[in-house]
Amino acid sequence: MSEQTPLDIAHAGMEAAPNDDAARLRFYERLADSEMFLLLSKEAMGEQIEPEIFDLGEASFVLVFDRIDRLSQFVGKSAPYAALSGRSIAQMLTGQGIGLGVNLEVAPSQMLIPPDAVNWLCDTLAHAPDEVEERPEELYAPKGLPEELLTALDAKLASAAGFASNAYLVAVHYEGGRQGHLLGFVGAVEGAEHALARAAGEALTFSGIEAGSIDVGFFSQSDPMAAAMAKVGLRFELPKLEERAQVVRAAPGSDPDKPPKLR
């Protein structure tokens, strides 16, 4: 029996608890974050790709697999494919009336995700927390936050290697009287703010927490707020890169804000 993938494990958790919304959300989060191999009808041409589309009566589906050998096993021979994140594929398909066939016939995580669910996933991924413009007046240690949220934040930020030095989660009282929680990033790389805010928003959404919100702020290393957060906040380490290589946007879907186009 082949080793289970993270998607297999998340799917098994969802199947074992069909009434658990948190388990379902964890599966969709894993699908969005995973590299998936999309079966194509022919080789990609630049940013234009032509997926193999299967008409199953009530809806049409494209096929994706979380390992290349699973795609090959399904097809029975080598076949053209595009390696894309699940979120890029959802963005590409949203509004097209096309669903996702995931790991069909080759893995325990096989399932059909209908077009409406693809649209929902894309809408969910578009949510992001508000960026803070008002100045915090007092900071406190965070209290009462669900363990699921803290685990989700830790996992999300671990994937943001090199985007910031670190982050602190604090309880905050703002000058205008508003209270809440703030996730403050310290030393964020210029241009990475949107990706970091989106990661924080997804951690909140996919942790299954129905109420509450988290503000997001960005602070320089020399900002007094950085030192203040360090005294009382819960620290999250972001992996460091020895040298940030220039990202080359060549493969279709490599830019999450510009998904590939259907032909």
Measured at the CA of 229, the angle between CA 227 and CA 232, to 5 degrees, comes to 115
| pLDDT range class, residue 244, cuts 50, 70, 90 | very low
pTM of this prediction? 0.71
Mean confidence (pLDDT) of the chain = 85
Distance, in Å, from the CA atom of 112 to the CA atom of 237, rounded to the nearest integer, reads 37
The answer, yes or no, to whether residue 236 has pLDDT greater than 70, is yes
Cβ(184)–Cβ(217) under 8 Å? yes
Domains of the chain by range and CATH?
Answer: 6-126 (3.40.1350.90), 136-237 (3.30.70)
**Average pLDDT score over residue span 20-41:** 90
Distance, in Å, from the CA atom of 157 to the CA atom of 175, rounded to the nearest integer, reads 28
Tens-place pLDDT, residues 45-73: 777 889 999 998 889 999 999 999 999 99
Strands, E, within 40-87: which ranges?
48-49, 53-55, 60-65, 81-85
Tens-place pLDDT, residues 122-178: 888 877 666 667 788 899 999 888 888 888 888 888 878 889 999 999 999 998 888
Cβ(38)–Cβ(49) under 8 Å? yes
